[in-house]
Amino acid sequence: MSAAAGTLEGMALIDVLGDRERLAAAVAGRDARFDGWVFLAVTSTGIYCRPSCPAARPKREHMRFYASAAAAQEAGYRACKRCRPDAAPGSPQWDWRSDVTARAMRLIGEGVVDREGASGLARRLGYSLRQLERLLIAEVGAGPAALARAQRAQCARVLIESTDLAMGRVAFAAGFTSVRAFNRVVAEVYACSPTKLRERAARSAPLPDAGGTIGLRLAYREPFAVSHLFAHLAASAVPGFEEWREGAYRCALSLPHGPAIAALRPGPGYVECRLRLADVRDLTAAVARCRRALDLDADPVAAQEVFEADAVLGASARRTPGMRVPRRVDGAEYALRAVIGQRLSSTAAAAVCARVAERYGEAVDDPEGGLRRRFPSPERIAEAAALPMPASRGRVVRAVAAALAEGRIDVGPGSDQAAARAGLVRVPEVEPRTVEMIAMRALGDPDAFPAADRGVVAGAARLGVAAFPSAVAQAAGAWRPWRAYAAQHLWAAGALSKRRPATDRQEKVKR
């Protein structure tokens, strides 16, 4: 990271854009940390790039900076063919912020504008379309229609380069309403026709064909503790709708137009993503959910700087930089799984979730592996007569499922974190630890912290903190606003401990 960069997180994006000297220094140093935060446009070439683009550096008087690829495209610039700025990691702000702009950006990323229009997006957020357009233009330089247009162009490029679909099918799958609009937008954004894009991709050795799947590469920011993230996903996988197979985490998804299967495998500088979709119109939503599940849009350096300076976490942070928070592809699914797993070990919770999915989940076709079911929807669980668990826990699970189904609790990408937390707290017998876990893994709150979790307490004890939730919570004050990432270090430290934790039954006997 260049000295001029400093910490980006916590700053308003408009402040970053206003600091031209800082941005010019980032371009001079090819600082990849700015990729996705801002986009560099060059007036002399009519091209926009990532700040880290390896091309020759432009003169300062030719530099213009935009908050989004859509804003650069609206200003008449086309995407650089070398650094592919439209495929840069997303701005971390849209992942961790909970204001209207961030919620709108997450919903646009899920393809809501393509399915429901800009007015549908505004209704979801409780704003008028005019108000929403004004907010988005003020902060990211483009309204919802322009942002969705840029996303459609990127989705079209992925389909053009990674499938042999006819161009007409690509156009409608990417969300365009006509082939003419598809051809025009692709030509404007990429300075070549869809056919030329496909020919160029074929010459540059695309990902090998995998029999009916769409393959793409998901970018992320370095550093990235890949082994920690994927080890957690593999260890917590629920048989039947998740699995670890041939070096990839595989899971079943429920998308707007049907089921899907995602296979995510770490690669050198990217995550290889293979998607088997029932309907290719779901590509945008599938990619957004996979990125969110792996926390790929995080800025790992901001948390790293805080942890390295801390007496408790310093050594762990230096040993394992770039921790990510393992999340799930579906927030409602994880919320139900977290409630099902209250007071159970991870192994026992996985077994119960597997039985729930086997009994109430819809079947999926997986010719490449062992996925059999999708996790049942909140509506299905709320209506279930008898869940395979004790009646008292079943009542809590059905209460949460009913609140999710009726919209009284929203843990999706457009949710308000504070409102979702409040809704969970109102459900009787949902424990504070469970609320924090849902906030961390479903809502994406970077400061969620389950201080009473036994793994967190054990890890903190190994690092010298008194083994009491109150002591851990007090120590965690120094890790704000990144306590969710601090928890990953504590869990990793706890896993290194050789002590044998007592089972729930043993602890009850002692008491």
CA nearest neighbour of 32 among 225, 190, 293, 219 = 219
- Cα–Cα distances in Å, from 511 out to 461, 504, 505? 21, 11, 10
**Residue matched to tokens 């409780």:** 126
Sheet with 63-66, edge to edge strand ranges = 63-66, 39-42, 47-49, 78-79
- The catalytic position among 31, 35, 49, 80 is 49
CA nearest neighbour of 281 among 126, 125, 440, 173 = 173
> What per-residue string of b and e applies to 391-406 under the rule 16 or more CB within 10 Å gives b?
eebbebbbbbbbbbbe
Q: Are 54 and 24 in contact (CB under 8 A)?
A: no
CA nearest neighbour of 215 among 263, 147, 182 = 263
Residue type, 24: A
- The catalytic position among 86, 114, 299, 453 is 453
For residue 372, the tally of other CB atoms under 10 A from its CB is: 18
**Residue matched to tokens 């876990």:** 437
- Partners of residue 373 on adjacent β-strands: 363
User: For the CA atoms of the chain, what is the radius of gyration?
Assistant: 23
Distance CA 130, CA 221 (A): 34
Terminal C-alpha separation, the chain: 52
Helix (H) or strand (E) holding 40: strand 39-42
3-state SS track over 218-245: EECCCCCCHHHHHHHHHHCCCCCCEEEE
- β-pairing, 214-219 vs 270-277, is antiparallel
CA nearest neighbour of 430 among 396, 388, 404 = 396
49 is catalytic: yes
Phi, psi (rounded to 5 degrees) for 426:
-75, -20
Q: Which residues contact 70 (CB under 8 A, 6 or more apart)?
A: 140, 141, 142, 146, 147, 149, 150, 151
CA nearest neighbour of 465 among 257, 354, 312, 262 = 312
Q: Is 32 helix (H, G, I), strand (E, B) or coil?
A: helix
Active site residues: 49, 453
